[in-house]
Amino acid sequence: MSRYAFKRSIPIMTGYIFIGLAFGILVSDKGYNVLWALAMSIFVYAGSSQFVLLALMVDGASLPLAALMIFLVNSRHMFYGISFIERFKSMGKRFFYMVYTLTDETYSVHVQIKDDKDLNEEEKNQAMFEVTFLNQMYWVIGTVLGALLGQFVPFDTNGIDFSMTALFIVIFVEHWVAWKQYTTHIPALTGIISSIVCIFIFGPDRFILPSLIISIAFLLAMEKRISKKMLGVE
């Protein structure tokens, strides 16, 4: 595992381990053992969706309903994942693993690696694979430790599911600072504005998908103009 990949994964590590702990504690609090936490983090591996799935399990939801809900929560991945589909194809046998393990946080690091001018294409592919693997390991370790702790140490779990939202905020702030090398914040502002508008129109439980559709449609329509602004080209 390269030092480059590890350094890139450190912000995700700090978030995933602690949020994984929170999730594992919730799993234990709801009466499920550590094997459930391990299996969900390996085979589901979707932070916010795992919190949703756990709630559905506790409520006794049917398998088709649970599958539909998880699909809707994770449907946003289809939109931004398209931007990496060709690169993942160029990675050969690693393609399916890269698609399966694409998360919001991993995507954010992939974007940084893709724009790193100090790496050639093969080095970028390798770094992305290593970061992806490390990120999943951090999540698995965090959830398993949380489930184990939850069995022996009492915790007040009120509000603990907000930890995933907190991580999203940290990643956004990090990217906003990183974007100072560009001359425009139009992509970020597009996401903010579309999200706020969609929250008022569709509500907090249904705004993500329409907000993504609006943002992507606008950015695709303005792609050339925005690219020139980001690169400082008139």
Are 72 and 137 part of one and the same domain? Answer: yes
Are 40 and 117 part of one and the same domain? Answer: yes
CB 24 within 8 A of CB 146: yes
Query: Per the domain annotation, does 142 fall within a domain?
Result: yes
Query: Per the domain annotation, does 173 fall within a domain?
Result: no
Are 189 and 156 part of one and the same domain? Answer: no
pLDDT per residue as tens, the chain (234 positions)? 688 999 889 988 988 888 888 889 888 888 888 999 999 999 888 877 787 788 778 878 777 777 777 776 676 677 677 778 889 999 989 999 999 998 888 888 898 888 888 888 898 999 999 999 999 999 999 999 999 988 887 766 666 656 656 666 765 666 566 555 556 677 778 878 888 998 999 888 777 778 878 877 887 777 666 555 554 444
Query: Per the domain annotation, does 166 fall within a domain?
Result: no
Please give the residue range of the domain that contains residue 103.
Answer: 3-161
Are 12 and 113 part of one and the same domain? Answer: yes
CB 171 within 8 A of CB 11: yes
CB 5 within 8 A of CB 116: no
Confidence at residue 144, expressed as pLDDT on a 0 to 100 scale: 94
**Number of separate domains in the chain:** 2
CA distance 102 to 106: 6
Are 76 and 20 part of one and the same domain? Answer: yes
Query: Per the domain annotation, does 123 fall within a domain?
Result: yes
Query: Per the domain annotation, does 50 fall within a domain?
Result: yes
Are 52 and 135 part of one and the same domain? Answer: yes
Are 145 and 211 part of one and the same domain? Answer: no
Boundary residue ending a domain (127, 161, 195): 161
Query: Per the domain annotation, does 74 fall within a domain?
Result: yes
CA distances from 83 to 4, 9, 88, 107 (A): 23, 20, 10, 10
Are 125 and 197 part of one and the same domain? Answer: no
CB 20 within 8 A of CB 138: yes
Q: Is 157 helix (H, G, I), strand (E, B) or coil?
A: coil
Confidence at residue 131, expressed as pLDDT on a 0 to 100 scale: 94
Are 197 and 157 part of one and the same domain? Answer: no
The amino acid present at 98, given as its one-letter code, is M
Q: How many C-beta atoms lie closer than 10 Å to residue 7's C-beta?
A: 10
Confidence at residue 145, expressed as pLDDT on a 0 to 100 scale: 94
CA distance 44 to 39: 8
Query: Per the domain annotation, does 14 fall within a domain?
Result: yes
The amino acid present at 221, given as its one-letter code, is A
Are 116 and 67 part of one and the same domain? Answer: yes
Task: Give CA 136 to chain center in angstroms.
Answer: 11
pTM equals 0.69
